């Protein structure tokens, strides 16, 4: 991207994810594979743009909040359970979606530590400390002591610069680094990771008293000779302190001006306005990020985190563990899915157009005013992969009420719409929880592939009763945020913390293209139906908890709620 945010060149490269066919909780990747792919795409971008590497003034990284494990020379350490756990080998990332560390997370959540106050009261098994504890519990002690642990975004800046400086974003959001007080020695001793503090936190990269880097601040002396050669860039090219991908998506969306009915607003957004804009960064899962000038504690929602992006500001992060993944699952596991694919191919269109056309035809045939009324008796609860927020319970599971003995394309279309509805209702649950705790969210800024689904975006606006702003480039919001980090790192004054907030926000405004507004548009009747759907959604949560407690009581284990 250039300084105005225009995409000069783009490229992509597949990366590997390993799954265990006997354990659905396992997701693993490789830093070597990801770094190699990074070099491939950068070289493709340089070639397609015709730019000389000297034209690249800065580089930024984002990545998923996954645990990367190396030795102290940066060589990968295997994280796969088995005889070679802790040895050198390719599979050295425990992906965010990996749920192997449930026992460790339960132990952590029983400590009452202050670290829990900054993750909504309950630590997710998707975070890094439960995963590190799992490795400690399953790895030979002499091998564990040789491990260096990174949140994946920080590994990429380490690989680029050989400087082990860590980002405030990764440490505070995923690694139990408490705002204003740092590492908690008593906490690590209590859970069995006392050796981290005994070694002055060398294994997690920031020693007692050292500063973390706020977003975009330069890492070390820029690209090392080796990394520059691997990426096709110049040694010393500035590297900005990295962000978790969802936070980069926040950067790439919330500073946008917007068009309403084709008319561009003349209001230039201020940093203060950002506190009313929720970024919903959607992909396999969805993250919901909002910032505030003061820390706001929200039960079941991660944070408040201080300085993850903007110096002096706090952030909360809600999330849905499965959204894009849930839509795909509901479609591909329905008996009529192959029929849907065949029809779409015959009509030379995509499956989503076929589904929407089918739903609209059904609406007319049934003489109802909306698709909400068409599917009023079909209720899906979406936590097929546990609840990230605001319940913060990985044991929550999905449910379908109103299922019919019907395996037709018509039934698939209804199921599809009910799935979109479930995702929208859960989004409202998160927004309502944030606002009840003290936030003042008045709009949602979308990014990711789901922003292309206009029907889903209209549901978000109608269900949440607020406008949804769609970015000019829905797929590019996250990498746009990373590019902003690179630009900030190249700024001659980027090492000054005192001016970071204003300088970074100005870059965000300059590099973010205007978005389009989807306003709430439901009729009073549909609004009543949507409210009834939401009431049932909340009741479903209470029912599931009550049923779980009853079954555990019958097993003699007692209620766990």
Query: What is the Cα–Cα distance from 34 to 31, expressed in whole angstroms?
Result: 5
Query: What is the Cα–Cα distance from 110 to 128, expressed in whole angstroms?
Result: 17
Examine the domain organization and report whether 278 and 348 are in the same domain: no
The CA-based angle 478-507-4, given to 5 degrees, is: 80
Examine the domain organization and report whether 172 and 200 are in the same domain: yes
Examine the domain organization and report whether 538 and 505 are in the same domain: no
The reply to whether 223 falls in a domain is: yes
Examine the domain organization and report whether 190 and 258 are in the same domain: no
Q: In this predicted structure, what is the pLDDT of residue 561?
A: 45
Q: In this predicted structure, what is the pLDDT of residue 427?
A: 98
Q: In this predicted structure, what is the pLDDT of residue 345?
A: 97
Low-confidence stretches of the chain (pLDDT beneath 70) = 557-561
Query: What is the Cα–Cα distance from 513 to 75, expressed in whole angstroms?
Result: 40
Examine the domain organization and report whether 50 and 148 are in the same domain: yes
Do residues 480 and 6 lie in contact, with contact meaning Cβ atoms separated by under 8 Å?
no
Helix axes 337-346, 351-366, angle to 10 degrees: 100
For the chain, the maximum distance between any two Cα atoms, rounded to a whole number of angstroms, is 70
Examine the domain organization and report whether 358 and 368 are in the same domain: yes
Query: What is the Cα–Cα distance from 47 to 315, expressed in whole angstroms?
Result: 38
* 317 preceded by a cis bond (ω within 30 of 0): no
Sign of the torsion formed by the C-alpha atoms of 283, 28, 233 and 500: positive
**Residues 166, 42, 12, 444, Cα dihedral to 10°:** 50
Burial group, residue 177, by CB count within 10 angstroms (0-12, 13-18, 19+): buried
Token pair belonging to 105: 């997370």
pTM for the whole thing?
A: 0.92
Q: Which of 516, 514, 479, 11 is nearest to 249 (CA)?
A: 479
Examine the domain organization and report whether 317 and 338 are in the same domain: no
Query: What is the Cα–Cα distance from 184 to 190, expressed in whole angstroms?
Result: 10
The DSSP code sequence of 252-311 is: TTTT--EEETTEEP-PPPPTTGGGGEEEEEESSSEEEEEEESS----TTSEEEEESSSST
CATH number at residue 161: 3.30.420.40
CATH number at residue 344: 1.20.58.2240
- 53-81 burial: b if 16+ Cβ within 10 Å, else e: eeebebbbbbbbbbbbbbeeeeebbbbbe
Do residues 242 and 169 lie in contact, with contact meaning Cβ atoms separated by under 8 Å?
yes
Examine the domain organization and report whether 303 and 353 are in the same domain: no
Query: What is the Cα–Cα distance from 179 to 181, expressed in whole angstroms?
Result: 6
The reply to whether 328 falls in a domain is: yes
Among the candidates 231, 264, 288, a domain finishes at: 231
Token pair belonging to 494: 């980027």
What's the chain's Rg over C-alpha atoms? 24
For residue 436, the tally of other CB atoms under 10 A from its CB is 11
Examine the domain organization and report whether 265 and 129 are in the same domain: no
Q: Compute CA 276 distance to the chain's CA centroid, rounded to the nearest angstrom.
A: 19
Say which residues have a Cβ less than 8 Å from residue 347's Cβ, sequence separation at least 6: 353, 354
Query: In the beta sheet, which residues pair with residue 167?
Result: 213
For residue 338, the tally of other CB atoms under 10 A from its CB is 10
Do residues 501 and 309 lie in contact, with contact meaning Cβ atoms separated by under 8 Å?
no
Examine the domain organization and report whether 349 and 377 are in the same domain: yes
Among the candidates 186, 208, 231, a domain finishes at: 231
Q: Domain range spanning residue 548? A: 324-384+391-420+521-555
Q: How many domains does the chain have?
A: 3
The reply to whether 4 falls in a domain is: no
Token pair belonging to 376: 């009023």
* Residue bearing tokens 């500035």: 238
Examine the domain organization and report whether 48 and 172 are in the same domain: yes
Do residues 111 and 190 lie in contact, with contact meaning Cβ atoms separated by under 8 Å?
yes
Query: What is the Cα–Cα distance from 535 to 376, expressed in whole angstroms?
Result: 13
């Amino acid at each position: 991207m250039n300084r105005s945010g225009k995409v000069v060149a783009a490229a992509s490269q597949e990366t590997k994810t390993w799954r265990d066919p006997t354990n659905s909780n396992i997701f693993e990747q490789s830093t070597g594979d990801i770094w190699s792919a990074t070099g491939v795409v950068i070289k493709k971008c340089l070639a397609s743009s015709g730019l000389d590497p000297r034209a690249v003034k800065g580089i930024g990284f984002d990545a998923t909040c996954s645990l990367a494990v190396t030795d102290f020379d940066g060589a990968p350490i295997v994280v796969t359970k088995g005889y070679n756990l802790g040895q050198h080998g390719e599979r050295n990332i425990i992906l965010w979606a990996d749920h192997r560390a449930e026992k460790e997370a339960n132990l952590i959540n029983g400590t009452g530590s202050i670290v829990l106050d900054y993750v909504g009261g309950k630590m997710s098994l998707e975070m890094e400390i439960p995963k590190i504890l799992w490795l400690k519990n399953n790895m030979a002690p002499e091998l564990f002591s040789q491990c260096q642990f990174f949140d994946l975004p920080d590994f990429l800046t380490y690989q680029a610069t050989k400087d082990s400086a860590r980002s405030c974003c990764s440490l505070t959001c995923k690694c139990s680094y408490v705002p204003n007080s740092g590492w908690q020695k008593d906490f690590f001793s209590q859970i069995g990771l006392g050796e981290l503090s005994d070694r002055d936190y060398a294994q997690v990269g920031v020693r007692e008293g050292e500063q973390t880097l706020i977003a975009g601040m330069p890492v070390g002396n820029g690209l090392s000779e080796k990394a520059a050669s691997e990426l096709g860039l110049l040694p010393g090219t500035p590297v900005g302190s990295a962000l978790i991908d969802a936070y980069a998506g926040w950067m790439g969306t919330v500073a946008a001006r917007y068009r309403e009915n084709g008319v561009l607003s003349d209001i230039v957004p201020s940093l203060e306005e950002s506190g009313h804009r929720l970024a919903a960064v959607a992909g396999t899962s969805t993250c919901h990020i909002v910032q505030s000038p003061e820390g706001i504690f929200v039960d079941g929602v991660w944070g408040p985190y201080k300085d993850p992006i903007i110096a002096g500001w706090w952030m909360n992060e809600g999330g849905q563990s499965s959204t894009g993944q849930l839509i795909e699952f509901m479609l591909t596991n329905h008996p009529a899915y192959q029929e849907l694919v065949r029809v779409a191919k015959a009509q030379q269109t995509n499956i989503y157009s076929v589904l929407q056309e089918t739903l609209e035809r059904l609406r007319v045939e049934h003489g109802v005013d909306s698709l909400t009324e068409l599917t009023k008796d079909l209720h899906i609860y979406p936590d097929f992969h546990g609840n990230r927020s605001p319940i913060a319970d990985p044991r929550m599971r999905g449910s379908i009420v109103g299922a019919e003995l019907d395996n037709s394309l018509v039934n698939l279309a209804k199921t599809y719409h009910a799935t979109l509805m479930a995702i929208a209702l859960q989004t409202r649950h998160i927004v309502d929880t944030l606002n009840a705790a003290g936030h003042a969210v008045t709009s949602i800024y979308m990014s990711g592939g789901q922003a292309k689904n206009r029907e889903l975006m209209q549901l978000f606006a109608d269900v949440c009763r607020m406008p949804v702003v769609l970015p000019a480039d829905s797929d590019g919001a996250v990498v746009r945020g990373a590019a902003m980090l690179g630009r900030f790192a190249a700024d001659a004054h980027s090492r000054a913390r005192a001016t970071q907030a204003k300088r970074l926000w100005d870059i965000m405004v300059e590099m973010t293209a205007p978005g389009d507004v989807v306003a709430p548009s439901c009729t009073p009747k549909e609004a009543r139906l949507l409210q009834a759907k939401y009431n049932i959604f909340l009741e479903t949560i209470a029912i599931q908890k009550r049923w779980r407690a009853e079954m555990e009581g019958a097993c003699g284990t007692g209620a766990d709620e």
